[in-house]
Amino acid sequence: MAKATTTMIVCLSLLRVAMAATYSVTDYGAEADGQTDSTKAFLAAWSSACGAARPATIYVPAGRFLVGQATTFQGPCNNSAVTILVHGILVAPAGYTSAVNWLLFKYVDGVSILGGTIDGRGQAFWACKDAGRSCPQGATSLSVAESKNVVIRGLTSLNSEMFHISIFGSSSVKVQGAKIIAPGDSPNTDGIHIQMSTEVTILSTRIKTGDDCISMGQGASGVWIEKVNCGPGHGISIGSLGGTASEAGVQNITVTSVFFSGTQNGLRIKTWGRGYSGFVRGVTFAHAVMQDVSYPIVVDQNYCPGNVNCPGQVQLIPYFFFLYVIKRIAAPQSSGVKISGVSYSDIRGSSATPVAVKFDCSASNPCSDLSLSDIKLTFENKEAQAYCKNAEGSTSGTINPPSCI
């Protein structure tokens, strides 16, 4: 009986493999030497797998495969289960172009990317930015746009020019067991950026990068982030919002069981000090551990990176010899983005600055319904401080630093 069952399972497994057609990129001419341009081979394998009437697998064996910028894997496909099984490393060309994407999945429904490493080779592009030259926009390494039912599991992303992973205009996207790595001083290398997307899950992922580990822009909703380890980096951020007119709101966001080490921020919400309307509501931050984080809990509604050209600032314009004209850049504005229903529970660890909790909210749209419970944040093993402006809410349990809402 046991033998019969085993035989049956073996048969079923063989049947599954037989049912899913497999297309190896090397059969289409890809070379694992890291030098031969394998873009065409990857696109040809995609075309076969996407055009197949039944589930299909694209196989990328071990080795280094050079794949060009702006490589687009476009749907819709004839089947709803394309698996890309990667044992090797995809490398971007050295240098940079004006492409804004390296690997782009567009209009797909039912794609799983399993394993593999992608190396964006962003160094030359960062050097251009660091030198203050005029550089192109930079490429996001892996983008999922206007797509549904996408799984990215066990991927390693190295040294993206701009964002490592971007999820835009999509629903039901899951990133699990990813490793995202770039130097702490690499500019704008956000780990995962989510925008105009819903039902996005990020699980068990390690992110060391030069900007936000995860950033959520306008129209992010139904996002679940769990077991993420962040640092170096700028933390997990909602925003920046309110920088342009008629932005979609951000809602129903959960961030739980996260660890931050040496990051600039922990859990952050940031909006520009401009009048454009928008909202953030229904956010749960729970079970976070901070280790030497500059701003563990922060709402910043006067966001202005580098403090240049911010509304309300004055500029000195040389006039005659040592005389200057004082000019206000624009009238000071308060943010039109309304933040409400944000809860923080079980947040502990150490702050690298005295103010561990900062709610700097909009005068015209005060933060409302903030809730804090079980907060234990210290600064140099002593009591830290909390700062509140235009913030209203409630507290329960132990609150350290003592609450100011």
Ligand X SMILES: *[C@@H]1O[C@H](CO)[C@@H](O)[C@H](O)[C@H]1NC(C)=O
Interaction of residue 107 with ligand X, rule CB under 6 A: no
- Binder among 35, 78, 309, 315 for ligand X (CB under 6 A): 78
In terms of CB distance, is 88 or 219 closer to ligand X? 219
What do you get for the CA distance between the two ends of the chain, in Å?
A: 68
Reduced to 3 states, what is the DSSP secondary structure of residue 16? Answer: helix
| DSSP secondary structure letter of residue 15 | H
Interaction of residue 54 with ligand X, rule CB under 6 A: no
50: phi then psi, degrees, rounded to nearest 5: -70, -35
- Binder among 136, 184, 222, 312 for ligand X (CB under 6 A): 222
Minimum distance between the CB of residue 78 and ligand X, rounded to whole angstroms? Answer: 4
Reduced to 3 states, what is the DSSP secondary structure of residue 258? Answer: strand
Minimum distance between the CB of residue 173 and ligand X, rounded to whole angstroms? Answer: 12
In terms of CB distance, is 224 or 379 closer to ligand X? 224
Q: Print the SS3 string covering 170-231.
A: CEEEEEECCEEECCCCCCCCCCEEEECEEEEEEEEEEEECCCCCEEECCCEEEEEEEEEEEC
Reduced to 3 states, what is the DSSP secondary structure of residue 125? Answer: helix
Residue nearest to ligand X (CB): 51
Q: Identify whether 234 is a catalytic site residue.
A: yes
In terms of CB distance, is 54 or 328 closer to ligand X? 54
In terms of CB distance, is 256 or 378 closer to ligand X? 256
Minimum distance between the CB of residue 83 and ligand X, rounded to whole angstroms? Answer: 17
CA 203, 233, 301, 372 dihedral sign is positive
Strand order in the sheet with 355-360: 71-74, 101-106, 140-145, 165-168, 192-195, 214-216, 236-241, 265-272, 295-303, 355-360, 385-389
Chain centre to alpha carbon of residue 277: 23
Q: How many CB atoms lie within 10 A of CB 400?
A: 16
In terms of CB distance, is 51 or 402 closer to ligand X? 51
Minimum distance between the CB of residue 214 and ligand X, rounded to whole angstroms? Answer: 14
Size of the site for ligand X (CB under 6 A): 7
Interaction of residue 367 with ligand X, rule CB under 6 A: no
Interaction of residue 172 with ligand X, rule CB under 6 A: no
The active-site residue, picked from 87, 164, 193, 234, is: 234
**121 close to 101: Cβ distance less than 8 angstroms:** no
In terms of CB distance, is 74 or 261 closer to ligand X? 74
Q: Which of 379, 163, 342 is nearest to 252 (CA)?
A: 342
- Binder among 30, 41, 49, 50 for ligand X (CB under 6 A): 50
Minimum distance between the CB of residue 197 and ligand X, rounded to whole angstroms? Answer: 12
Interaction of residue 224 with ligand X, rule CB under 6 A: yes
Interaction of residue 252 with ligand X, rule CB under 6 A: yes
Minimum distance between the CB of residue 17 and ligand X, rounded to whole angstroms? Answer: 22
- Binder among 51, 332, 397, 402 for ligand X (CB under 6 A): 51
For 259, the token pair is: 């660890």
Interaction of residue 254 with ligand X, rule CB under 6 A: yes
- What positions carry a catalytic annotation? 234
Instruction: Please give the residue ranges that form the binding site for ligand X (CB under 6 A).
Output: 50-51, 78, 222, 224, 252, 254
